[in-house]
Amino acid sequence: MNRFDLKWIRGDTYVYNIIADQDITGWKVFFTVKDLDDNTSNDNYALIKKQVVASGTSATINIMKEDTSGLVEDSYKYDIQLVSPDENTVKTVIFGNISITDDVTKEVT
């Protein structure tokens, strides 16, 4: 498990490619963002929650502009977890804080 802090611009998009050293076909990959002081075990209060299913040795998580546009300029916590198809194995592969900065350009059309 590795710690890595992120810096995001509100309203931007991000792509994270998860690469494993073994076949993780069928594993669920979760990307979850919560308030720093949220210590609940209930992910229903997550600010961002993405779930994808891995294929081969990789999975791709897409964070869309709609996911980040509602976040206020602040710090949050996140993690990325892999869960085996039988749900007996859970691995947190990375975690850390996300700092959100307000975007400067508001009109993109």
Around Cβ 32, how many Cβ atoms within 10 Å? 17
Beta bridge partners of 31: 50, 80
CA distance 93 to 59: 13
Residue 63: C-alpha distances to residues 51, 56, 67, 71 (Å): 11, 21, 6, 13
Pairing type for strands 2-3 and 90-101 reads parallel
Please, which pLDDT band fits residue 41 given cuts at 50, 70 and 90?
A: confident
| pTM score of the predicted model | 0.90
What's the pLDDT tens digit per position in 42-64? 888 899 999 999 999 999 999 99
End-to-end Cα distance, the chain: 41
What's the pLDDT tens digit per position in 67-90? 999 899 999 999 999 999 999 999
- Average pLDDT value for the chain: 93
Give the per-residue pLDDT at 25: 97
Q: Which domains does the chain have, with CATH numbers?
A: 2-101 (2.60.40.10)
